[in-house]
Chain A
């Protein structure tokens, strides 16, 4: 019997894209099915069936590598429309079982089922009913984690896959995770692992035994998070659909077609991404204050950095300037870059800000030197380019700086 103060489910569809493909084409049943995004050698594996996983194929792996590992694999390029439809059907089912659903991606969601015992007889009964309905309606299976917080629930759903259900309380967490390496925790990547190992911290148990203040000193705010998570003391609650789907940020990222080391190409790519993001913001009437960049090196070491501006903007040149500032010098010199992303967050509606260009000097009567004729011209130019793109498509006008290779 589950007796948590709050009960959170993490529902994770089993090999979702691949499962949808197999369901739609029963001939594929039992074959190693590999679904990828992107084109040709540089594509990335989105999902693969459990048969393909036996060969060592994993999500996020370059398609070329997957092909080497599993030469008999059936490669299918992702048919996103079908997955989105399936995802919408799933969402409908989730909503029957909980009023508080936080989708994480097309095939994963958190459900807060606290207080639903009377309706369903308890968390396990609810999960059986829901899994059954998903199977009956959609012929798909999922794995479910039940825990007092989001984070533990996410770990729990991964323990017994596919078609499993796992209840994870603090004691069970200790028994299962303490002997495992630190990177089995959600959110601990390659670089965090390396830093921890250097401090003599190798297992989750070691991490739990490390003083939180030491971790905070090394990792900043994330140190506190690591400490709480490593002890299984997670009671994080979830965001409802409305909050989670609110426009909190706009971003664009790209896995480059060839690992890049040349700073000019990095610049061109960041310029292109900044242009994309700011164009989307302008189209949807937003301005943003926080600029973030995401960079992944060819050895899958990923960093994100962000900076909050003194006032919001939707201008691509401003976004580009601050994005470039956030990219550490080491990238493109020491490392090869595999993925670049630019994000704008802390968004507000443009029309709710009196004057985007001068919001920090509301009309107090201070006059300006006419230094900004260029800026006025730039704004006019941006508007003109936007209207051409509205009419003739995004590719009709390009920034010259993005034209390399």
Chain B
């Protein structure tokens, strides 16, 4: 194997690939990156066995072949170099990285040791609107659970219903549901549960100006084809809990309020909240929302009044401020709506000018302690 390419191109892609290289692993081979020099093309891949990333880039290939190199070590060497052409050449059991003023030789693991990478089956590819998909992902992954004893909740549910596609994530305390036109997806796949890592990476590396994303559904995997970058991930086995049963069908209280005012007020008041519960009390009466918190540990107390439009009996309800701000940061538009029924049941939160079918969040309250 022998190839050359400019430093800046390599560092850009190495950085992307390193996102998948596990910091610690019981399998030392996974801390490595696989280089495959093909015809005038270089492929760089990494995997943590769940998520696999492959980037393909143009490079000057003098001799085809493949090699495996320690990822972070290589990146640390290269990032310090000035802009230059770097040449990689493999010998019997080492790989030499040639730079203008010298060279680095690193003992290389055999490429056979590297886990087999999933093949890209372009025939099965469905093209989807990039912006729609990215937006759905941005609004859901935050709500996934990290509790490994409920594996299904560790991912985002992606399902199609008639002409709509729906993504749902929940950790049992809050839930996000987003929907859009299903486009080419209709009838292609059953419901799947996707680990958030691959989704977040896809949004992060979405190339500027890209309009469509190729999606490939395999039996236990999903792949996203972003052109020069292909991401794939193992899917999570279901079943996913029946989320629609927990979305309240009717509520008797409705509050509409300026989103940014509420967002910043919650952040301020939360500073004095209990450091474990982050409890902030929402008291709505007439045309006023009062946010308040007390913190016995620091002997502090906070209170702010905000104007709102409110229909319904007065209510006092406690929330984890972190959950409220997470949700508000995902809501578009100037006005946000809270539909509530009681201090111990789920509230529905959505943007005033976005149809509820398109995007809602549910939030369970904290039991008020006073």
Contact = CB atoms under 8 A, between A and B. Distances in A.
Interface of A: 195, 198-200, 214, 217-220, 305-306, 309-311, 313, 315, 318, 321-322, 325, 328-330, 357, 360, 364-372, 374-375
Nearest to B323: A366
Contact of A321 (B237, B245, B318, B346): B237
B93 A310 contact: no
A310 B149 contact: yes
A217 B113 CA distance: 14
Contacts of A200: 93
B172 interface: yes
A287 B324 CA distance: 34
Interface residues of B, number: 45
Contact of A220 (B26, B70, B93, B245): B26
Nearest to B345: A367
A369 B149 contact: no
A368 B145 CA distance: 13
B28 A369 contact: no
Given A365-B279, A366-B277, A370-B246, A214 B149 contact: no
Q: Which of A214, A220, A328, A369 has the largest count of B CB atoms less than 10 A from its CB?
A: A369
A371 B115 contact: no
Interface string B141-166: 00000111111000000000000000
A219 B149 contact: no
Q: Which of B25, B26, B243, B277 has the largest count of A CB atoms less than 10 A from its CB?
A: B26
Contact of B364 (A313, A364, A369): A369
A309 B154 CA distance: 12
Interface of B: 25-28, 49, 70, 93, 107, 109-110, 113, 115-116, 146-151, 170, 172-173, 175, 234, 237, 239, 241-243, 245-246, 276-277, 279, 318, 320, 344, 346, 362, 364-369
Q: Binding site of B, secondary structure by majority: helix, strand, loop or mixed? A: loop
Given A220-B26, A305-B26, 18 more contacts: A195-B113, A199-B107, A200-B93, A306-B26, A311-B147, A311-B148, A313-B149, A318-B148, A318-B151, A322-B148, A330-B116, A364-B276, A364-B277, A366-B364, A367-B344, A367-B364, A369-B175, A375-B150
A220 B147 contact: no
A325 B368 CA distance: 40
Contacts of A218: 28, 109
Contacts, number: 94
23 contacts: A195-B113, A198-B93, A217-B28, A218-B28, A218-B109, A220-B27, A311-B147, A311-B149, A318-B149, A321-B151, A321-B237, A325-B234, A330-B115, A357-B149, A360-B147, A364-B277, A365-B279, A366-B173, A367-B173, A368-B173, A369-B175, A374-B241, A375-B150
B170 A371 contact: yes
Contact of B146 (A217, A310, A368): A310
B174 to A, nearest CB: 8
A375 B239 CA distance: 11
B366 A371 contact: no
A273 to B, nearest CB: 17
Q: Which of B70, B150, B237, B369 has the largest count of A CB atoms less than 10 A from its CB?
A: B150
Contacts of A311: 147-149
Given A198-B93, A218-B28, A218-B109, A369 B362 contact: yes
Given A198-B110, A365-B367, A366-B366, A371 B241 contact: yes
A311 B170 CA distance: 18
A45 to B, nearest CB: 31
Contacts of A330: 115-116
